[in-house]
């Protein structure tokens, strides 16, 4: 008795979600009693700042916050986001038309192709990449065209290499700088090329700037929307998760082209009921006090980066220091693949790292390690790695 559960072709076509596989292997090691240093998933180890949790608590006691949220989010939050954007990037945004709160930036990234992709259309996706870029295109019924991110091109996509036949069918282009997983950054000259490219081929740019506030050595990374003409061709996604250690809260936003924002709003109005109002109020408090959080966050990860990368270089595993994000993108050691190195580290050193090919074929030859444990554990990880390389 019972029905036969048959998965859709779209679901079948998805690769295994990378972080689920990592979590499974980690839990198995923990069940065996191993002391695990987890450098796998990029989930900040520090708690959400106290002033933000206090704002949530206070707002959650107000019955007015218990009702459905508006599709477009609280106007006060949109105004605060626009104010922050003007201060941080010098970009003026209309809070009523060019800003949309999200249930985490991942949610918006997953849904935006539904507004623009039809069967047979193409989405241009960097490789390696954050997995939802690919899955969002597949769920929308489109085809994924890979743009390799290669070390010899500074992990930037080589847009002129894309063939005319692909460009004729392309509807959206995903980009992400500072980049996950490679930790690469780009400058304004690259964004200028992107704007010209998108305008010429009528392609919507979806720039994921989740790591814009985690940069080192005095670097302030640019916003895509700072570029002349950027608002004519695209939008930019931001996340509260990394900037404010709010991963579990699920709060983000997208801003930019008002027609693209309106289309995503229409999709969301048919799928979700918005972000819990008390969380949006806490988000307002976070944005108003961003300076006191971001400076400390940069200092924390920069110190961890120095301890970890200097330590690895000292034991003979040579790699450059990343300029942004809290990731280290390291070349695999000679005799390993990215998967075999990750397996070796887990089994023999109790260190969880992420194989680069889990982010796409072009990630083979690298592994990603997250700076989301304290300095003592990072030093311990270096000592454990030293024993097996």
CATH of the domain at 359: 3.90.1150.10
In a domain, 61, yes or no: yes
Are residue 72 and residue 194 in the same domain, yes or no? yes
Q: Which among 273, 269, 234, 275 is positioned nearest to 253, based on CA atoms?
A: 275
Residue tagged 């790292």 (tokens)? 353
Quote the pLDDT of residue 286.
97
In a domain, 1, yes or no: no
Are residue 122 and residue 265 in the same domain, yes or no? yes
d(CA 178, CA 289): 23
| Dihedral angle sign, alpha carbons of residues 48, 49, 50, 54 | negative
Are residue 73 and residue 137 in the same domain, yes or no? yes
- The 10s digit of each residue's pLDDT in 292-303 is 899 999 999 999
3-state secondary structure of 246: coil
Are residue 337 and residue 267 in the same domain, yes or no? no
Are residue 329 and residue 353 in the same domain, yes or no? yes
Are residue 61 and residue 40 in the same domain, yes or no? no
Are residue 32 and residue 161 in the same domain, yes or no? no
In a domain, 4, yes or no: no
Quote the pLDDT of residue 389.
83
Are residue 119 and residue 219 in the same domain, yes or no? yes
Quote the pLDDT of residue 18.
64
Quote the pLDDT of residue 82.
98
Burial of residue 83 (number of CB atoms within 10 Å: 0-12, 13-18, 19+) = middle
Q: Which helix (H) or strand (E) holds 101?
A: strand 99-102
Residue 192 DSSP one-character state: H
Local confidence pLDDT in tens for the 389 residues of the chain: 789 999 999 888 887 766 676 777 778 878 888 899 999 988 999 999 999 999 999 999 999 999 999 889 999 999 999 999 999 999 999 999 999 999 999 999 999 999 999 999 999 999 999 999 999 999 999 999 999 999 999 999 999 999 999 999 999 999 999 999 999 999 999 999 999 999 999 999 999 999 999 999 999 999 999 999 999 999 999 999 999 999 999 999 999 999 999 999 999 999 999 999 999 999 999 999 998 899 999 999 999 999 999 999 999 999 999 999 999 999 999 889 999 999 899 989 999 999 999 999 999 999 999 999 999 999 999 999 999 88
Mention every residue, 6+ apart, whose C-beta is less than 8 A from residue 196.
229
Q: Are 46 and 245 in contact (CB under 8 A)?
A: yes
d(CA 40, CA 36): 11
Residue 364 DSSP one-character state: T
Are residue 139 and residue 67 in the same domain, yes or no? yes
In a domain, 2, yes or no: no
Q: 29 is in which domain, residue-wise?
A: 9-47+292-386
In a domain, 352, yes or no: yes
- The 10s digit of each residue's pLDDT in 118-149 is 999 999 999 999 999 999 999 999 999 999 99
For residues 156, 145, 238, 358, the Cα torsion angle rounded to the nearest 10 degrees is -80
Q: Which among 139, 122, 116 is positioned nearest to 260, based on CA atoms?
A: 116
Are residue 176 and residue 298 in the same domain, yes or no? no
Are residue 54 and residue 43 in the same domain, yes or no? no
Are residue 61 and residue 198 in the same domain, yes or no? yes
The total domain count for the chain is 2
């Amino acid at each position: 008795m019972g029905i036969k559960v048959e998965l859709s072709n779209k679901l079948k076509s998805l690769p295994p979600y990378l972080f689920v596989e990592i979590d499974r292997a980690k839990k198995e090691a923990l069940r065996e009693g191993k002391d695990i240093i987890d450098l796998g998933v990029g989930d900040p180890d520090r708690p959400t700042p106290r002033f933000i949790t206090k704002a949530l608590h206070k707002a959650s006691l107000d019955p007015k916050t218990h009702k459905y949220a508006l599709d477009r989010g609280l106007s006060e939050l949109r105004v605060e986001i626009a104010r922050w954007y003007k201060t941080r990037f010098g970009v003026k945004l209309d809070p009523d038309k060019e800003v949309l709160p999200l249930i985490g930036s991942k949610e918006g990234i997953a849904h935006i192709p539904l507004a623009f992709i039809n069967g047979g259309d193409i989405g241009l996706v960097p490789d390696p990449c954050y997995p939802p870029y690919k899955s969002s295109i597949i769920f929308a019924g489109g085809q994924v065209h890979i743009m390799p991110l290669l070390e010899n091109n500074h992990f930037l996509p080589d847009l002129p290499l894309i063939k005319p036949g692909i460009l004729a069918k392309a509807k959206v282009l995903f980009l992400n700088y500072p980049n996950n997983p490679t930790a690469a950054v780009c400058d304004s000259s690259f964004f200028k090329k992107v704007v010209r490219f998108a305008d010429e081929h009528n392609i919507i740019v979806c720039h994921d700037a989740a790591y814009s506030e985690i940069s080192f050595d005095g670097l302030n990374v640019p916003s895509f929307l700072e570029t002349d003409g950027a608002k004519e061709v695209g939008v930019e996604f931001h996340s509260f998760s990394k900037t404010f250690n709010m991963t579990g809260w699920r709060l983000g936003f997208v801003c930019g082209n008002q027609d693209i924002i309106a289309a995503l709003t229409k999709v969301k109005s048919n799928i979700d009921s918005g972000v819990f109002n008390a969380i949006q109020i806490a988000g307002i408090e976070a944005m108003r006090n961003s300076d006191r959080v971001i400076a400390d966050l940069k200092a924390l990860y920069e110190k961890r980066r120095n301890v970890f990368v200097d330590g690895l270089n000292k034991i003979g595993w040579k790699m450059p220091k990343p300029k942004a994000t809290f990731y280290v993108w390291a070349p695999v050691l000679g005799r390993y693949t990215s998967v075999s190195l990750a397996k070796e580290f887990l089994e023999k050193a109790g260190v969880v790292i992420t194989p680069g090919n889990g982010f796409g074929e072009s990630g083979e030859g690298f592994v990603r390690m997250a700076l989301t444990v304290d300095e003592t554990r990072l030093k311990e990880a270096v000592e454990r790695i030293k024993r097996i390389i």
